[in-house]
Amino acid sequence: MQVTFQEYRLAMSTEVDAVGKTSSRLQFQQCKPADLTLEHWITRWEQQKIGFHLDTVHEMLKKHVDVMLNGRKQIRIFFPLCGKAVDMKWLADQGHTVVGVELSEIAIKQFFTEQNLSYIQEPVAGMPGVDIFKTTEGQISLFLCNIFDFSSLIAGQFDGIWDRGSLQALNSPDRQRYSKLLITLMAKGCRYLLDTLVCTKSDFEGLPIKISEAETRDLYGHACDIQLLDSSDTLTGKQKLWGLESFIEEVHLITPKTDSS
Ligand SMILES: C[S@@+](CC[C@H](N)C(=O)[O-])C[C@H]1O[C@@H](n2cnc3c(N)ncnc32)[C@H](O)[C@@H]1O
């Protein structure tokens, strides 16, 4: 028997002891971590394997949004690898302008449909094959493309960034390229909230992949000041089944070093 729980499966194993007596037991076994290719994500959306999606505004965003806003109104907020995060509508309803980038057309269309927003879809000049989906007033614009095809030349720089789950969604060799791109998208005074997971079972290699404090500093520390805002254990029954002892969600505030000099 096999039941797959993302990267873990519940499997029946049978053992024979010294006197030839057999016994069976159910065990969670770890599978190989997924190769996080573009196809992997496209297929997940096609099959609606989107356990990461939350139907309510992310608690960490609600808790720390004032740090990102820093007293500013009507700012431009970037959502890299946005999925269909309801947080985008929440911030747009507060008067901010939201720009997202997402690979899956299904995700983008579900976002507008589920949030009851009318939208227009049009090609992006100078980006063959890339479409932009935007609300009629232009408050929310989502680019349908690979994040690595996006740049400040296309949509300018941003005053705030809410980044939840992006580093975990990329293969490790792409993360350096990703952080370099994100740094170029930060306007002067930009306040970037990075939400990551740090799991504390040393042999845990499945998804969600852990992002250590050291890796965050390695990715952003050369150009940005980094401050740990929050570190909360959000372990639930689901993660206990994965064999984890703790499931820590961390939020860092990242700001350009040039702002402090
Ligand atoms: C872990 S999910 C996080 C989604 C969203 N940030 C949220 O909080 O619900 C990662 C998302 O990134 C998208 N994605 C993965 N690789 C991408 C890439 N190279 N460019 C653009 N989007 C990508 C996936 O389709 C998926 O929707």
Q: Provide the residue ranges of all domains of the chain, joining segments of one domain with +.
A: 54-260
Contact status, residue 179 vs residue 217, Cβ threshold 8 Å: no
- Is the distance from the beta carbon of residue 190 to the nearest atom of ligand 1 less than 6 Å? no
% of the chain beyond a pLDDT of 90? 66
CA 23 to chain centre: 43
How many CB atoms lie under 10 A from the CB of residue 120?
A: 11
Cα dihedral: 158, 163, 168, 169 (round 10): -60
Mean pLDDT of the region 185-199: 92
For 96, phi then psi, to 5°, come to -85, 160
Contact status, residue 231 vs residue 248, Cβ threshold 8 Å: yes
- CA distance linking residue 182 with residue 170, whole number of Å: 14
- Is the distance from the beta carbon of residue 159 to the nearest atom of ligand 1 less than 6 Å? no
C-alpha Rg value of the chain to the nearest Å? 20
Mean pLDDT of the region 34-38: 83
Q: Would you place residue 245 in the very low, low, confident or very high pLDDT band (cuts 50, 70, 90)?
A: low
Please name which of 172, 176, 188, 230 lies closest in space to residue 76, comparing C-alpha atoms.
188
Residue 98 pairs in a beta bridge with: 77, 140
How many CB atoms lie under 10 A from the CB of residue 183?
A: 18
Distance (Å) from CA 26 to ligand 1 centroid: 33
Domain 54-260, CATH among 3.40.190.10, 2.60.40.420, 3.90.230.10, 3.40.50.150 = 3.40.50.150
Tens-digit pLDDT profile for residues 87-125: 999 999 999 999 999 999 999 999 999 999 999 999 999
**Global pTM?**
0.86
Cα dihedral: 108, 111, 114, 119 (round 10): -70
Q: Which amino acid residue places its CA nearest to atom 27 of ligand 1?
A: 83
Cα dihedral: 117, 122, 125, 130 (round 10): 90
How much is the pLDDT for 114? Answer: 98
Q: Which amino acid residue places its CA nearest to atom 19 of ligand 1?
A: 146
How much is the pLDDT for 248? Answer: 81
Tens-digit pLDDT profile for residues 200-210: 554 444 445 67
